Amino acid sequence: MATIKNDGLLALAKLAGGVDSEAAFTYAALGTGTTAESQTGTTLEDEIVTGGAERKAATMSYEADYKTVWQVLWNFTATHAIYKIGIFNAAAAGRMLMEHLWASARNVDNGDSMEATLKMTAGRAA
């Protein structure tokens, strides 16, 4: 389960109202940090910016029953121990919508590929 950031909620509210020209959340980033997910914070802990693990544009789609879907493929040129993934609205910097911390590292080597599919379901309290 991913944690939606306060900054992401702010941007979603502005997107819904067409306020401040907020950009859509179409980028995914990987990180090596292991700190627990939180609602605060605006950057992905220890975001990886080299070795094929750089922030990438996602292929976006919609799935029935209110799901936004991000699909991203990384082709690595270095070894990484990946613990986090985050969704952003810019190729660099920008607002972070959400982050997820895996329980154990996704270890990759030079020449490996990794595909991630993230889904966010919009819902309301019962």
For the stretch 69-124, pLDDT in tens is 999 999 999 999 999 999 999 999 999 999 999 999 999 999 999 999 999 998 88
In order of 72, 111, 124, the CA distances from 52 in angstroms are 12, 9, 38
Cα–Cα distance measured from residue 7 to residue 9, given in angstroms and rounded to the nearest whole number: 5
* 22-36: average pLDDT: 97
20, β-bridge pairs: none
63, β-bridge pairs: 67
Q: Which of 20, 24, 14 is nearest to 120 (CA)?
A: 24
Is the pLDDT reported for residue 1 higher than 80?
no
In this prediction, residue 30 has a pLDDT band, given cuts at 50, 70 and 90, of very high
Please name the residue that has the structure tokens 């082709």. Answer: 75
DSSP character at residue 47: B
* pLDDT value for 118: 95
